[in-house]
Amino acid sequence: MENSMTPQINRDRCDGCGLCVMVCWLDGLVIINGVVAIVEGVECDWCTQCEAVCINEAITCPYEVILG
Amino acid sequence: MKSNIIPRMELLKASPYFSGLSITELEEVSRLLFERSYERDEIILAEGDETGALYFVASGAVKVFRASADGKEQILAIVLPEEAFNETPVFNGGINPASAQAMTPVVVYGLNSGDMEAVLRAKPQVAMNVIRIMAKKLRYLVSLVEELSFKRVISRIARILLDYAGDGAAAGMRLTQRDMAAMAGTAREVVGRSLKELVENGTIRMERHRIIISDRDALEDIAEQSF
Ligand code: SF4
Ligand code: SF4
């Protein structure tokens, strides 16, 4: 099942540039075989910095909007 | 993880500042570049200082921002590899209008204003390129100023949140800040600031990947406002 608590990755769009890996302050991202992947168990805090630096929109941090 | 550092010649070839120059001319420019490295979070340029160099990002990401009197940070741009920052003081002299901070380990190539001026005098093609780049930047900044001063974006963001809100029971539509920017006709940076403002005025809460509308009526009011 998709883990909804980590950013979404579109493997086809990722060119493995590594910018998101460098920007993630929790060291939650790695490049495996030239494509970004999420480190298992990382407690991503949804800072959205990885999304901000990716020009390919290969990693995204979507929000669910809920009426409270 | 260490990402690749773009070699000087490759960067110059890719940069719109130097398009139209021959390889020999690019080599001349390349000899004028100096290199600097920064750790993550290190300040590269401080607002108000005199720096006098144009910087090109060879590796990493740089955040360009201004701090307001109440300490709020307005991100003006995130500068990625091959792109440049700190153009303004280079072309009109004077102080840095914004600060720049390394978001990752960063390597930049710098070109001192004096050297840039010499290049501009010797190569009118570069001057033409600069005009084109500055015009584009101006257009972007004018729209940013407009959004920030008239606050129209915040009502549009409020409207988007209301339109896409679910009750949390069914898996609702999920929106990124980039999606919201595209829908509101603005830059991602402006969306981030608008969301922060909505959090501060108590209409929404942000919990990791959830935006919770805590005061629907107040958010409706904001959405209805036309400035
Ligand atoms: S910044 Fe984007 S393209 Fe680069 S490695 Fe990360 S997800 Fe892939
Ligand atoms: S949202 Fe922030 S913490 Fe989560 S993976 Fe991206 S950069 Fe890392």
Q: How sure is the predictor about A2, in pLDDT bands with cuts at 50, 70 and 90?
A: very low
Q: How sure is the predictor about B172, in pLDDT bands with cuts at 50, 70 and 90?
A: low
- Is the model's pLDDT at B72 over the cut of 80? no
Nearest to B1 among A5, A21, A51 (CB): A21
Q: Is any atom of ligand 2 closer than 6 Å to the C-beta of A5?
A: no
Q: Which residues of B touch A45 (CB under 8 A)?
A: 208
The burial class, CB within 10 Å (0-12 / 13-18 / 19+), for A29 is buried
Q: How sure is the predictor about B226, in pLDDT bands with cuts at 50, 70 and 90?
A: low
Residues within a 6 A CB radius of ligand 1: A 14-20, 36, 53-54, 56, 58-59
Amino acid found at B150: F
Mean pLDDT, rounded, of chain B: 88
The C-alpha of B35 sits at a distance from chain A's nearest C-alpha, in angstroms, of 19
pLDDT at residue number A5: 82
pLDDT at residue number B196: 93
Cβ(B100)–Cβ(B44) below 8 Å: yes
Summarize the confidence of residues A25-50 as an average pLDDT: 94
Q: What percent of chain B has pLDDT over 90?
A: 58
Domain boundaries, chain A: 8-60
Summarize the confidence of residues B186-202 as an average pLDDT: 91
* Contact yes or no for A22 and B168 at CB 8 A: no
Q: How does strand A63-67 pair with strand B210-213?
A: parallel
- Is the model's pLDDT at B31 over the cut of 70? yes
Distance from C-alpha of A61 to C-alpha of B175, rounded to nearest angstrom: 8
- Is the model's pLDDT at B170 over the cut of 70? no
CA distances from B84 to A41, B61, B63, B146 (A): 36, 11, 12, 24
Tens of pLDDT, residues B104-122: 999 999 999 999 999 999 9
Domain range A8-60, CATH architecture? 2-Layer Sandwich (3.30)
Residues near B167 by Cβ (< 8 Å), separated by ≥ 6? A66, A67
pLDDT at residue number B183: 83
Instruction: List the domains of chain B with CATH numbers.
Output: 8-148 (2.60.120.10), 151-224 (1.10.10.10)
CA distances from A60 to A49, A52, B2, B77, B185 (A): 10, 8, 22, 18, 19
Half-sphere exposure (Cβ direction) of B1: Cα atoms closer than 13 Å? 22
pLDDT at residue number A23: 93
Distance from C-alpha of A20 to C-alpha of A27, rounded to nearest angstrom: 10
CB of A2 within 8 Å of a chain B CB? The answer is: no
Nearest to B175 among A52, A53, A65 (CB): A65
Distance from C-alpha of B218 to C-alpha of B32, rounded to nearest angstrom: 56
Distance from C-alpha of B111 to C-alpha of B123, rounded to nearest angstrom: 15
Distance from C-alpha of A23 to C-alpha of B97, rounded to nearest angstrom: 24
Interface subset of A 4-43, CB within 8 angstroms of B: 4-5, 17-19, 21-23, 25, 30-31
Q: What percent of chain A has pLDDT over 90?
A: 82
Q: What is the pTM of this model?
A: 0.73
Distance from C-alpha of A57 to C-alpha of B54, rounded to nearest angstrom: 28
